[in-house]
């Protein structure tokens, strides 16, 4: 061998005897002979210095466990964070099923005869997502809600051949940031204002801003402050000007109670699917949802699964319309996306199957009921005003001081109070006293009381 | 009453014609169970969950209460059965060798799954106050240090969500760096053998894509490339080791020429597994390279993602890296976001994703990297390259190896369809492999080789597994050369025979509709 003896490593099955036999079949004297094409000056003659050697399973688990314990997880504290990522109970069977090796360790289903499991799941997922969002068709998933949102803006440009998009002030600011980053390079013009602390959304201003150069209006539903508005007038105004309506849903559980954007005329509906099946995971991997009207399907980014038959006439599923995709179209593709979020789509689909319409409605009603109770209780705290007239499971409180300080101070007391608007909109001090509070089925009455008392102390 | 003494038969009746199995009324074949769609077996009033009753409150939904949704549910037991049955229609690494070239389908250690699910990582909100997530930020920082050291680069952007997203990150950094010096350039050079994501990404960033030809021995044509360099070229995207499975010997020379022309080198790191611990891309003059954590560092592919594509950057590109990122200040880990970036990271090209990247993949990759250590990772590359060369040299007498004469391959062995009987194709061999119990290799890629078969065994296969695969592929090559017509019908033993992809694309059915509705639509 290139080095004296090989290490004993649990994931590497070759023995030194195997290696010697294989080298002789190849006709090489040593492993170094197989690296002859590496220029001498770039060849490392020994392992890289300054890094530890291999570690046992127990040692790695111990190290990772130590780091995990340095975090205050959502389950350990009264927890009210949302703003694009929501904590929901995920049934035990979801995580069990996604860990079946046939799902977990499979690849993109490029050989459909031996990937019908993944493909049927994707077909079911697409149907579930389309129905949930109120659209005709959905794709097999994107990276996350923010990237799906940007892809929707790009798709609207391709369809309308216009490049001015109007972004609602109620759109998640990180989604706006992602779109701004991309637009700098694609030449899209994005119009966006920061939100104001008012109960009314900016629908009227959006309608007023639409003109003949507008490719699309992008609106979040419910929005970043938790407010809900009927999107129908906005869709009508957009269509009248030849523009599209793109709706963004960051909390899909809301659509167990609310009319979906697709039914209000949205042309493209994207979302973050993390709420259902995926979990918080400190921000990723998440699940980009992407749905649209049937007539736009050939402009859609990402993978699509379709029904077909096999040579014996049996129903089966394949990846389809791949002439939109990078591996066929190369520089003319609708997107450069390749890997999507398959395993998260599986988790979403399993959780949605467990819920069904009945369970989803119950879950949504429970979220809304608890949120109403929490909002009313917290509004009684001196120094706290409830901003929203309407909301699902998330609302904004206006405090008498900068909410960033309040959040930090309450965290020190073991209460995870919500997301401050100061963190979300650091350049807009005018919203700094806003605190976005999410209440899901994981919150209990005692948590609400703890938060109310802590806020009262903090604002006294 | 008398007791019957015969009992049940304990020896089978000798079988005369084993392949003439009668059809079953269910369509099932013992353990191979057909499974209908949830829309056919579920109902909207069935559920597999139960909740506490919702508090009785007056709705504040703004008068937008939803009517029918149309989502079927199943009981928990039916749900478990549905997905368990479906799972058994999938091939997976857990079942056997999965030699998809360029995809690095290696074993996925279950320790990775265990650590990713520790509540301190899995049940953590991305916007939790930083004082409460120090351990999570430490994971990101620790993994970043490993990646920077293993690649010999200056820094790393952790947030890209997958390889193609990492390519986008690298090209955006390059474009930002060029714009910062007031240097508008319009062209990105991409070799013919590149992954499709490379030209798609370059086009997405607003660049004109131009191909660079390959030499007859399967490498970038150095003379053609250097001749094309000029003030309009922003970057060169190179895959190393390349998609023909070869190390780009001239990469350092190329980098020097590219830099001299004022451009940058993007390296597609999809194939880093072949060289980890033996070569640092930083030593070859690379400016940006994505690392697919789901390839080299064993995070699961999950039937098509999620991936994770951190991008290592040179000192020249580091100031333009995206937000957010983790910085160590004394003993504290700080997440640099929009709020804090203005002071000392003003050049950033911005944010690529809503939060901090694929944390669930960072924990898995870090567990894998720590398990191997510096010594084990070097062994990974050596065994991956050894396994690929073993396959190449065990089969190059029956299959055409177009670059077999150019010397050893790296982590993947490339064959072509040259020499197969008239009418026989790479597809026939691939489908034949399915019947032999293997996932096929990558087919018809790279595009520079006719009927390409790209075989990447990875380092986690034993010699016994390789020998069985070699035996199967050898037999199939011989059958395809001899014109064995039966091969064209393969697979015979998979859950489905060959599927009609033309029909699927011509009349797309992308969602399920109730049969009556579907008929009415026609």
Q: What is the pLDDT of residues A430-449, one digit of tens each?
A: 999 999 999 999 999 999 99
* Fold held by B111-367: 3.40.640
Q: Are A431 and A402 in contact (CB under 8 A)?
A: no
Verify whether the Cβ–Cβ distance B127 to A85 is below 8 Å: yes
Cα separations in angstroms, B27 against B22, B35, B499: 11, 10, 18
Average pLDDT over residues B384-388: 98
Residue of B279, B282, B306 for testing the chain A interface, max A β-carbons within 10 Å: B306
**pLDDT over 80 at B17, yes or no:** no
Q: Which two tokens stand for residue A378?
A: 């917290």
Alpha-helical runs (H) found in A302-441: 326-329, 342-379, 403-412, 421-424
For residue A209, give how far its alpha carbon lies from the nearest alpha carbon of chain B (Å): 24
Q: What is the pLDDT of residue A1?
A: 35
The kind and range of the H/E element at B415 are strand B413-415
CATH of A92-352, one of 2.102.10.10, 3.90.400.10, 3.40.640.10, 3.40.50.720: 3.40.640.10
Of A48, A356, A389, the CB nearest to B42: A356
Domain ranges of chain B: 111-367, 379-504
Residue B397 backbone dihedrals phi, psi, to 5 degrees: -85, -20
What's the confidence (pLDDT) of residue B518? 64
pLDDT higher than 70, residue A262: yes
Residue A224 pLDDT level (bands cut at 50, 70, 90)? very high
Sign of CA dihedral B226, B229, B235, B237: negative
Where b means 16+ CB within 10 Å and e means fewer, A411-428 reads: beeebbbbbbbbbbbbeb
DSSP output for B43-70 = BTT--S---PPPP-----STT-B-----
How many residues make up chain B in this entry? 522
CA dist., res. A298 & res. B131, Å (int): 46
The four Cα atoms B370, B375, B376, B380 give a dihedral, to 10 degrees, of 130
Angle at CA of residue B485, ends B482 and B490, nearest 5°: 115
Contact A258 B64 (CB under 8 A): yes
For B346-366, write each residue's pLDDT tens digit: 899 999 999 999 999 999 999
User: Residues of CATH 3.40.640.10 domain(s) within chain A?
Assistant: 92-352
d(CA B226, CA B222): 6
Q: List, in sequence order, every residue forming a beta bridge with B483; answer none if it has no partner.
A: none
- Predicted TM-score (pTM) of the model is 0.97
What confidence tier does A2 reach under pLDDT thresholds 50, 70, 90? Answer: very low
Average pLDDT over residues B403-409: 91
Phi, psi of A361 (to 5 degrees): -65, -40
What end-to-end distance do the CA atoms of chain B give, in Å? 66
Tell me the shortest Cα–Cα distance from B10 to chain A, in angstroms: 35
Read off the pLDDT of each residue in A123-134 and give the average, rounded to a whole number.
Answer: 98
The two beta strands, A394-399 and A434-438, are antiparallel
Residue B130 is given by DSSP the state G
Return the axis-axis angle of helices A16-26 and B463-482, rounded to nearest 10°: 30
pLDDT at A6: 60
B68-125 per-position pLDDT tens digit: 999 999 999 999 999 999 999 999 999 999 999 989 999 999 999 999 999 999 999 9
- Report the distance separating Cα B145 and Cα B154, nearest Å: 10
Complex confidence, ipTM: 0.96
Which of 3.50.50.60, 3.90.1150.10, 3.30.390.50, 2.60.120.700 would CATH assign to domain B379-504? 3.90.1150.10
CB A188 within 8 A of CB A136: no
Q: Is the pLDDT of residue A401 over 50?
A: yes
Cα-Cα-Cα-Cα torsion B33, B37, B39, B44, nearest 10 degrees, comes to 50
- Name the A residues in 114-143 with CB < 8 Å from any B CB: 114-118, 120-121, 123-124, 126-128, 130-132, 136-138, 140-141, 143
Q: What's the average model confidence in pLDDT over B435-444? A: 97
Structural tokens at position A62: 């111990």
Contact A343, B303 (CB under 8 A): yes
Residues pairing with A71 in the sheet: B133
**Closest Cβ–Cβ partner in B118, B164, B373 for A337:** B164
Angstrom distance (rounded) from CA A444 to CA A366: 11
Residues 184-223 of A with CB under 8 A from B: 184-187
- When pLDDT is cut at 50, 70 and 90, the band that residue A14 belongs to is very high
Please name the helix (run of DSSP H) or strand (run of DSSP E) that holds residue A154, with its range, or none: helix A145-160
Q: Does A429 touch chain B (CB under 8 A)?
A: no
Q: Determine contact: A357 vs chain B, CB below 8 A.
A: yes
* Cis before A222 (ω within 30): yes
Q: What is the mean pLDDT of chain B?
A: 94
CA–CA gap between residue B158 and residue B310 (Å, rounded): 4
CA distance A346 to chain B (A): 9
Q: How far is CA B210 from the centre of its chain?
A: 25
* Residue recorded with tokens 């102390």: A457
Residue A39's Cβ-count burial label (10 Å; 0-12, 13-18, 19+) is middle
Write out the residue limits of the CATH 3.90.1150.10 domain(s) in chain A: 77-88+357-459
pLDDT at residue A370, as a whole number: 98
Closest among B224, B275, B226 to B247, alpha carbons compared: B275
A45 touching B, CB under 8 A?
no
Contact list in A for residue B279 (CB cut-off 8 A) is 38, 42-44
**Interface touch B76/A93, C-beta < 8 Å:** yes
pLDDT for B19 equals 67
- Residue-wise pLDDT for A27-37, tens only, equals 999 999 999 99
Q: How far apart are CA A342 and CA B92, in angstroms?
A: 14
Bridge partners, B268 (sequence order)? B239
CB proximity list for B41: less than 8 A, separation 6 or greater: B72, B74, B78, B82
Mean pLDDT estimate for chain A: 95
Average pLDDT over residues B396-411: 94
Alpha-carbon distances of B234 from B4, B267, B350, rounded to whole Å: 89, 14, 20
H-helix segments, A277-341: 326-329
- Across the interface, do A255 and B278 touch by the CB < 8 Å criterion? no
Position B283 scores a pLDDT of 97
- pLDDT digits 0-9 by tens, A304-319: 999 999 999 999 999 9
> Residue A105 in contact with residue A343, Cβ under 8 Å?
no
Contact A20, B391 (CB under 8 A): no
Q: Under DSSP, is residue B29 helix (H, G, I), strand (E, B) or coil?
A: strand
The contacts of residue A362 (CB under 8 Å, 6+ apart) are B47, B49, B51, B54
pLDDT at B515: 86
Could you say which residues from 50 to 69 on chain A have a Cβ atom under 8 Å away from some Cβ of chain B?
Answer: 50-55, 57, 59-61, 63-69
Which residue of chain A has the CA closest to B73?
Answer: A356
**With contact defined as beta carbons under 8 Å apart, do B512 and A123 qualify?**
yes
A185: pLDDT strictly greater than 90: no
Contact A22 B43 (CB under 8 A): no
Q: How confident is the model at residue B519 (pLDDT cuts 50, 70, 90)?
A: low
User: What is the average per-residue pLDDT within B329-334?
Assistant: 96
**CB contact (8 A) between residue A87 and residue B363:** no
pLDDT at site B521? 56
- The pLDDT of residue A4 is 40
pLDDT category at B517 given cuts 50, 70, 90 is: low
Residue B46 C-alpha, separation from nearest chain A C-alpha, in angstroms: 7
Sort residue A124 into left (φ over 0), alpha (ψ -120 to 50) or beta. alpha
| Percentage of chain A lying above the pLDDT 90 cut | 92
Longest CA–CA separation in chain A, Å: 82
Which one is predicted more confidently, A323 or B469? B469
Mapping DSSP to helix (H, G, I), strand (E, B) and coil, where does residue B414 land? strand
Both structure tokens of B183: 């240097």
Backbone angles phi, psi at A166, to 5 degrees: -105, 120
Choose the mutation target among A36, A74, A106 for the interface with B, i.e. most B CBs under 10 Å: A106
CATH architecture, domain A77-88+357-459: Alpha-Beta Complex (3.90)
* Residue among A67, A259, A358 whose CB faces B66 most closely: A259
């Amino acid at each position: 061998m290139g080095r004296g003896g090989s290490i004993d490593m649990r994931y590497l099955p070759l023995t030194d005897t195997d290696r010697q036999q294989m080298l002789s079949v190849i006709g090489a004297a040593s492993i170094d002979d197989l690296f002859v094409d590496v220029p001498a000056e770039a060849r490392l003659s020994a392992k890289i210095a300054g890094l530890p050697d291999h570690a046992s399973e127990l040692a790695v688990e111990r190290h990772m466990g130590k780091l995990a314990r340095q975090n205050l997880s959502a389950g350990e504290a009264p927890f009210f964070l949302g703003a694009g990522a929501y904590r929901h109970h995920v049934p035990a069977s979801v995580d069990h099923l996604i860990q079946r090796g046939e799902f977990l360790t499979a690849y993109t289903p490029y050989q459909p005869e031996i990937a019908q499991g993944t493909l049927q799941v994707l077909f079911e997922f697409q149907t579930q997502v389309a129905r949930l969002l109120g659209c005709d068709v959905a794709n097999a998933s994107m990276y996350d809600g923010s990237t799906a949102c940007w892809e929707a803006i790009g798709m609207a440009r391709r369809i309308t051949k216009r490049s001015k998009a109007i972004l609602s002030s109620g759109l998640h600011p990180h989604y706006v940031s992602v779109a701004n980053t991309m637009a700098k390079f694609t030449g899209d013009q994005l119009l966006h204002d920061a939100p104001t602390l008012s109960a009314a959304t900016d629908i009227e201003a959006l309608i007023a801003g639409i003109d003949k150069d507008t490719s699309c209006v992008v609106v979040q539903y419910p929005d970043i402050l938790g407010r809900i508005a009927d999107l129908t007038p906005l869709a009508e105004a957009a269509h009248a000007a030849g523009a599209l309506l793109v709706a963004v849903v960051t909390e899909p559980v809301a659509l167990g109670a609310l009319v979906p954007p697709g039914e209000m005329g949205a042309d493209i509906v994207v979302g973050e699917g993390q709420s259902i099946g995926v979990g918080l995971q400190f921000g990723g991997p998440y699940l980009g949802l992407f749905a649209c009207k049937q007539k736009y399907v050939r402009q859609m980014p990402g993978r699509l699964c379709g029904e077909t038959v096999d040579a014996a006439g049996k129903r089966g599923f394949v990846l389809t319309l791949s002439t939109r995709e990078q591996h066929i179209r190369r520089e003319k593709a609708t997107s450069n996306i390749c890997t999507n979020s398959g395993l998260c789509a599986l988790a979403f689909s399993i959780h949605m199957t467990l819920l069904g319409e009945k369970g989803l409605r119950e879950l949504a009603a429970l979220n809304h009921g608890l949120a109403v109770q929490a909002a009313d209780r917290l509004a009684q705290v001196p120094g706290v005003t409830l901003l929203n007239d309407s909301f699902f499971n998330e609302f904004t409180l206006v405090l008498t001081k900068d909410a960033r300080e309040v959040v930090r101070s309450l965290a020190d007391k073991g209460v995870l109070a919500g997301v401050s608007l100061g963190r979300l909109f650091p350049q807009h001090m005018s919203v700094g006293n806003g605190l976005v509070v999410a209440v899901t089925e994981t919150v209990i009455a005692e948590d609400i009381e703890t938060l109310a008392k802590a806020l009262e102390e903090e604002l006294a | 009453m008398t007791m019957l003494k015969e009992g049940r038969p304990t020896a089978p009746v000798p079988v005369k014609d084993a392949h003439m199995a009668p059809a079953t009324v269910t369509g099932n074949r013992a353990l191979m169970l057909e499974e209908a769609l949830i829309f056919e077996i579920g109902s909207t009033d069935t559920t597999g969950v139960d909740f506490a009753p919702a508090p009785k409150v007056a709705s504040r939904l703004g008068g937008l209460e939803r009517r029918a949704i149309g989502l079927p549910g199943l009981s928990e037991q039916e749900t478990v059965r549905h997905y368990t049955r479906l799972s058994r229609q999938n091939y997976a690494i857990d079942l056997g060798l999965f030699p998809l070239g360029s995809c690095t389908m290696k074993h996925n250690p279950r320790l990775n799954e265990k650590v990713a699910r520790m509540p301190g990582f899995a049940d953590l909100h991305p916007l939790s106050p930083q004082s409460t997530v120090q351990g999570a930020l430490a994971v990101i920082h620790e993994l970043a240090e490993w990646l920077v050291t293993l690649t010999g680069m200056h820094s790393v952007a952790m947030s890209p969500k997958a390889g193609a997203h990492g390519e986008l990150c690298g090209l955006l950094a390059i474009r930002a760096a060029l714009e910062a010096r007031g240097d508008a350039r319009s062209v990105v050079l991409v070799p013919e053998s590149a992954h499709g994501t490379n030209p798609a990404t370059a086009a997405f960033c607003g660049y004109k894509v131009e191909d660079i030809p390959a030499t007859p021995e399967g490498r970038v044509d150095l003379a053609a490339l250097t001749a094309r360099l000029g003030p309009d070229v922003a970057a060169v995207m190179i895959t190393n080791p390349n998609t023909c499975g070869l190390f780009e010997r001239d990469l350092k020379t190329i980098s020097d020429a590219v830099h001299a022309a004022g451009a940058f080198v993007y390296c597609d790191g999809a194939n880093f597994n072949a060289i980890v611990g033996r070569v640092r891309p930083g030593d070859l003059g690379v400016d940006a390279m994505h690392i697919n954590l789901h390839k080299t560092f064993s995070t699961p592919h999950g039937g098509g993602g999620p991936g994770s594509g951190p991008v290592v950057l040179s000192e020249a590109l580091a100031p333009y890296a995206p937000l957010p990122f983790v910085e160590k200040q004394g003993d504290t880990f700080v997440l640099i976001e929009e709020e804090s970036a203005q002071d000392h990271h003003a050049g950033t090209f911005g944010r690529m994703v809503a939060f901090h990247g694929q944390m669930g993949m960072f924990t898995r990759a870090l567990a894998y990297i720590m398990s191997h250590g510096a010594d084990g990772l070097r062994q990974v590359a050596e065994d991956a390259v050894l396994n690929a060369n073993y396959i190449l040299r065990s089969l190059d007498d029956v299959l055409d190896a177009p670059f077999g004469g150019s010397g050893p391959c790296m982590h993947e062995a490339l064959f072509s369809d040259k020499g197969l009987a008239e009418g026989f194709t790479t597809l026939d061999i691939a489908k034949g492999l399915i019947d032999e119990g293997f996932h096929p290799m990558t087919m018809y890629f790279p595009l520079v080789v006719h009927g390409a078969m790209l075989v990447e065994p990875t380092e986690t296969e034993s010699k016994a597994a390789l020998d069985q695969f070699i035996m199967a592929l050898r037999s199939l090559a011989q059958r395809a050369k001899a014109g064995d017509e039966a091969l064209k019908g393969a697979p015979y033993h998979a859950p489905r025979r060959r599927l009609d992809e033309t029909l699927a694309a011509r009349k797309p059915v992308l969602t399920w509709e109730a049969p009556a509705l579907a008929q009415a639509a026609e």
